[in-house]
Amino acid sequence: MGDSDLLLPEHAVLLHIGPHKTGTTALQGALRLARPAMKEHDVVYAGRERQHMFAALAITGGKGLIGDPAMPMRHWNRLVRQVERAGDKRVVVSSEFFDGADDEVAARVVGELGRDRVHVVVTLRPLAKILPSAWQQYVRNRLRFTYEEWLDAMLRRPPYIQPTTTFWKRHHHDVLVERWVSVVGPDRLTVIVVDESDRTALTRTFEQMLGLPEGILVPETGWMNRSLTLGEIELVRLLNVAFKGRDYSSQSYKQFVRRGVVRELQKRRPAPDEPGIVTPRWALERVAEIGATAAVRIEKTGARILGDISTLGAGPPDDYVDVPPPEVPLLPAAAAADAVLGGILAGQADLTTWGTPDAAQTAEETLLADIGTRQLARILAKRVRRRLLHR
């Protein structure tokens, strides 16, 4: 298919709805960086944000990340105005949080962005590639289930909605495509199956759809969003257990675990031999069946499909061998969880990396308000000892 076949009309609104874990972060980073350059080619990446998460959460009523407030409708209304001000230029709107829309909300999104202008783009990857990343994201949002427990619940225990109710709403890919096709029609929905062997294929496809010169969308350097190792994510999971046992607030979790511990972990470079997350064969075979069924149903919608849709149903290779997690992870997770929690409570993390000093002080005071008298005494004692040692 040539570039001219992919090119959208000059007045089109390209609405990229994800879903999650399908290359959205890298794509949105490239779009953000190229925002000024795209204007020279009459293409507008609406707003100034990296992606349009706040607007998507506002219109869908999604909860976002733990500790974050509900998004008011002003975020959505502002996005609509930005699209309107672009006039006849091509406009890009992108957020994986649009995958949380139900039938009614999807119709409203399209109607308010311009029913005759909107062209929906869905990016897809095989579920086998999504599972470990999705579980890890849930753990970074306070999930306490191990990977094996979570897989069992999502794939073996009907109705498959606990403990993470959003997973199948996002990743029943056939249902997602059918919903949006019913709103815009098959001629205005493109499914892009992400090519795992070519990291530039997705950005090149967007360039062709938007009439941009090749190479204008380039990955963002310095953006830190790497997956955690098995030991690292186990540390976070055990912190989740500890936070639950102590009944700390969501705001404390957001500030000290999600914005503190996780971000610090992502800054380190794991050793090559640190184990990653391994999906068992039974789960790979199950999601291959689900993916194969989804591929057939997506083809039946008549939507334009770019890439090999059959890869959604690819199972594990014949020689795939289950690798049990190590008995002693390279990062001693249980000990590290206690140590990191103690470090958080003692205020030893570099709070200045999380925002303004006032915001950091407020966050620390919020957490201290959750702590009992004995714990507070231990914290103060540790601080005194530390100061004496450094005199």
Q: Report the first-to-last Cα separation within the chain, whole angstroms.
A: 70
Write the pLDDT tens digit of every residue in 306-331.
Answer: 999 999 999 999 999 888 777 666 66
Identify any residues that bridge with 124 across adjacent strands, giving them in sequence order: 193
Average of per-residue pLDDT values in the chain: 86
Element housing 25 (H / E): helix 24-33
Give start-end residues of each CATH 3.40.50 domain in the chain.
3-127+165-223+278-313
Name the percent of the chain lying above pLDDT 90: 64
| Residue 215 clears pLDDT 60, i.e. is over it | yes
**How far, in whole angstroms, is CA 196 from its chain's centroid?**
18
Q: For position 354, what pLDDT does the model report? A: 38
Q: Return the minimum-mean-pLDDT range out of 35-44, 243-252, 380-389.
A: 380-389
At residue 148 the predicted structure's pLDDT band, cuts being 50, 70 and 90, is very high
Integer Cα distance of 15 and 121 in angstroms = 6
| pLDDT recorded at residue 227 | 87
Of the candidates 121, 70, 151, 166, the one whose C-alpha atom is nearest the C-alpha of residue 307 is 121
pLDDT over threshold 50, residue 91: yes
Overall average pLDDT of the 147-164 stretch:
96
Q: What pLDDT sits at residue 358?
A: 43
* Backbone dihedral angles phi then psi of residue 128, each to the nearest 5 degrees: -60, -30
What percent of the chain is predicted at pLDDT more than 70? Answer: 81
Identify the band that residue 338 occupies on the pLDDT scale cut at 50, 70 and 90. Answer: low
In CATH, what class is 3-127+165-223+278-313? alpha beta
DSSP of 239-302: HHHHHHHHT--HHHHIIIIIIIIHHHHHHS---TTS------HHHHHHHHHHHHHHHHHHHHTT
Residue 138 has pLDDT above 90, yes or no: yes
What mean pLDDT comes out for the span 75-84? 98
CA distances from 42 to 20, 55, 88, 110, 211 (A): 28, 23, 9, 21, 9
What is the reported pLDDT for 165?
A: 95
Q: What is the pLDDT of residue 162?
A: 95
Rounded alpha-carbon distances, angstroms, from residue 306 to 67, 96, 178: 38, 19, 16
